[in-house]
């Protein structure tokens, strides 16, 4: 790697120190002049490669139960001590006093996802789940509440559970997951086209949708709230079982080149994605379809492409359900492990190499000056 050429600086410095200041240095000082820049270079290389290969995929889950715990308070009897007389040595007399207090516990709302993890949620989100599932029940907590001087409020809990995993009852949410993506750093392994700003404008290419935990929009190019919510529900349903994330990109009056441009712009997409691209004309007819995904089973992509194209009419709800059902029932979808791309070599950026050169030079000079001026001498 080019970045290691920066080690020529401490090597040359060591040779110069041996030649001109040999009696000023001990062996361990030469080792420090070599080791510290090397450690800095290794760290810089690691940080640069990590920044280049860092990517995020969207993981999908849904809630299976929710719980509301009411406010409660209880009187806590407690005795404290305090100092009432001091002298030069400190406290010489203490007294006890009643420091009892009313202990308040605010209400809280939480939900459990289909992985069994508990999340804090808002009151509004809890009420949404209660309204949807319509089976809230009370739990008597039988707390030992101490009532005293107006203090003391008992509180119970309420729970609601999903009826089944049909789309009707699913409330999905997303989480980001960081992973190593060496593909996005490769310019020649997969031959993705270079996409510039003019391509983005000409073909109407999309950025990834903004991440919103409960309102993530997986459909780009069409403002259809019902279809977006339905595809989000499919993603929630498929997220744990299939470990996939479905996206739809709609291109109005664009050629099918737009789809391959989109694939190149997203560098093939994230490892868990199935991206369905659809071309639509002015008559709301489907003119072409294209699917890209990292799954190794090409048949899934081909069948999905042909079946959506055969629908002819651009009925987005129908397309969403077919999309979800196809991936759900297909044995072909297997999430690809990006460890397969560990062979792709990633070099630190030129900026990193230049900055590392400057830092290595400064460190080496400082260490050499220190070695010349410290009290240690070569005792040989």
Residue 267 lies in a domain: yes
Instruction: Identify the pLDDT of residue 376.
Output: 61
Could you give the percent of the chain with pLDDT greater than 70? Answer: 97
Whether the CA torsion 296, 297, 302, 304 is positive or negative: it is negative
pLDDT band at 149 (very low <50, low <70, confident <90, very high): confident
DSSP state of 202: H
Flag whether pLDDT at 46 surpasses 50. yes
Domain shared by 112 and 214, yes or no = no
pLDDT band at 370 (very low <50, low <70, confident <90, very high): confident
Residue 54 lies in a domain: no
Flag whether pLDDT at 230 surpasses 90. yes
Q: What is the pLDDT of residues 191-222, one digit of tens each?
A: 788 899 999 999 999 999 998 899 999 999 99
- What residues have CB less than 8 Å from 101, skipping those under 6 apart? 75, 76, 78
When pLDDT is averaged across residues 242-253 and rounded to a whole number, the result is: 95
When pLDDT is averaged across residues 263-286 and rounded to a whole number, the result is: 95
pLDDT band at 167 (very low <50, low <70, confident <90, very high): very high
CB 183 within 8 A of CB 336: no
Mean pLDDT of the chain: 91
When pLDDT is averaged across residues 103-113 and rounded to a whole number, the result is: 95
pLDDT band at 92 (very low <50, low <70, confident <90, very high): confident
When pLDDT is averaged across residues 224-249 and rounded to a whole number, the result is: 94
Instruction: Identify the pLDDT of residue 79.
Output: 92
Which candidate, 226, 217, 211, places its Cα nearest to that of 319?
226
**158 burial class (0-12, 13-18, 19+ CB within 10 angstroms)?**
middle
Domain shared by 336 and 356, yes or no = no
Instruction: Identify the pLDDT of residue 256.
Output: 95
CB 261 within 8 A of CB 201: no
Instruction: Identify the pLDDT of residue 307.
Output: 96
Domain shared by 80 and 147, yes or no = yes
Domain shared by 227 and 285, yes or no = yes
Give the chain's domain count: 3
Furthest C-alpha separation in the chain: 95
Flag whether pLDDT at 26 surpasses 70. yes
Residue 53 lies in a domain: no
Domain shared by 227 and 263, yes or no = yes
Domain shared by 66 and 18, yes or no = no
Instruction: Identify the pLDDT of residue 337.
Output: 80
Instruction: Identify the pLDDT of residue 380.
Output: 47
The pair of three-digit structure tokens given for residue 149, joined into one six-digit string: 């001087």
Instruction: Identify the pLDDT of residue 374.
Output: 81
When pLDDT is averaged across residues 82-86 and rounded to a whole number, the result is: 85
The pair of three-digit structure tokens given for residue 284, joined into one six-digit string: 């709301």
Q: Which of 143, 168, 193 is the last residue of a domain?
A: 168
Domain shared by 258 and 313, yes or no = yes
Instruction: Identify the pLDDT of residue 263.
Output: 95
CATH number at residue 335: 3.10.310
When pLDDT is averaged across residues 69-77 and rounded to a whole number, the result is: 92
Domain shared by 78 and 129, yes or no = yes
Domain shared by 206 and 327, yes or no = yes
When pLDDT is averaged across residues 316-341 and rounded to a whole number, the result is: 86
Residue 174 lies in a domain: no
Cα 304 to chain centroid distance, Å, stands at 28
When pLDDT is averaged across residues 349-354 and rounded to a whole number, the result is: 93
When pLDDT is averaged across residues 360-380 and rounded to a whole number, the result is: 80
Instruction: Identify the pLDDT of residue 298.
Output: 84
Q: Which of 21-25, 67-71, 344-348 has the highest mean pLDDT?
A: 67-71
CA distance 290 to 306: 9
When pLDDT is averaged across residues 320-338 and rounded to a whole number, the result is: 84
Domain shared by 364 and 322, yes or no = no
Domain shared by 208 and 331, yes or no = yes
Q: Which of 140, 168, 196 is the last residue of a domain?
A: 168
When pLDDT is averaged across residues 303-311 and rounded to a whole number, the result is: 95
Residue 378 lies in a domain: no
When pLDDT is averaged across residues 116-125 and rounded to a whole number, the result is: 96
The domain containing residue 128 runs over which residues? 61-168
Instruction: Identify the pLDDT of residue 85.
Output: 84
Instruction: Identify the pLDDT of residue 377.
Output: 59
pLDDT band at 353 (very low <50, low <70, confident <90, very high): very high
Domain shared by 330 and 194, yes or no = yes
Instruction: Identify the pLDDT of residue 246.
Output: 97
């Amino acid at each position: 790697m080019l970045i290691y050429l920066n080690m020529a600086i401490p090597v040359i410095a060591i040779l110069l120190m041996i030649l001109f200041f040999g009696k000023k240095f001990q062996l361990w000082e030469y080792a420090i002049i070599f080791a510290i820049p090397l450690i800095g270079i290794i760290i810089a290389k690691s940080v640069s490669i990590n920044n280049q290969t860092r990517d995020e995929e969207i993981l999908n889950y849904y809630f299976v139960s929710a719980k509301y715990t009411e406010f409660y308070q209880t009187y806590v009897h407690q005795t404290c001590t305090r100092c009432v007389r001091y002298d030069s040595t400190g406290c010489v007399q203490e007294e006890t006093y009643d420091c009892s207090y009313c202990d308040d516990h605010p209400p809280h709302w939480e939900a459990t996802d289909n992985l069994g993890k508990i999340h804090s949620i808002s009151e509004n989100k809890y009420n949404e789940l209660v309204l949807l599932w319509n089976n809230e029940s009370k739990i008597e907590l039988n707390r030992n509440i101490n009532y005293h001087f107006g203090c003391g409020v008992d509180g119970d809990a309420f729970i609601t559970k999903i009826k089944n995993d049909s789309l009707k009852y699913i409330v999905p949410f997303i989480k980001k997951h960081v992973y190593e993506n060496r593909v996005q750093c490769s310019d020649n392994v997969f031959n993705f086209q270079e996409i510039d700003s003019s391509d983005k404008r000409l073909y109407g290419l999309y950025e990834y949708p903004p991440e919103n935990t409960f309102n993530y929009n997986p459909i780009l190019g069409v403002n259809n709230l019902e279809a977006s919510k339905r595809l989000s529900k499919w993603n929630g349903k498929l997220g744990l079982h299939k470990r996939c994330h479905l996206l739809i990109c709609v291109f109005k009056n664009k050629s099918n080149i737009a789809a391959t441009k989109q694939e190149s712009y997203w560098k093939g997409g994230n490892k868990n994605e199935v991206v369905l691209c659809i071309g639509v004309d002015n008559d709301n007819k489907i003119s072409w379809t294209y699917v890209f995904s990292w799954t190794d089973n090409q048949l899934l992509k081909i069948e999905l492409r042909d079946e959506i194209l055969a629908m002819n009419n651009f009925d987005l709800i129908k397309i969403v359900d077919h999309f979800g059902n196809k991936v759900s029932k297909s044995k072909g979808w297997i999430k690809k492990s990006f460890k397969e791309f560990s062979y792709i070599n990633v070099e630190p950026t030129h900026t990193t190499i230049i900055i590392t050169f400057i830092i290595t030079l400064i460190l080496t000079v400082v260490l050499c000056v220190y070695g010349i001026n410290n009290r240690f001498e070569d005792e040989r």
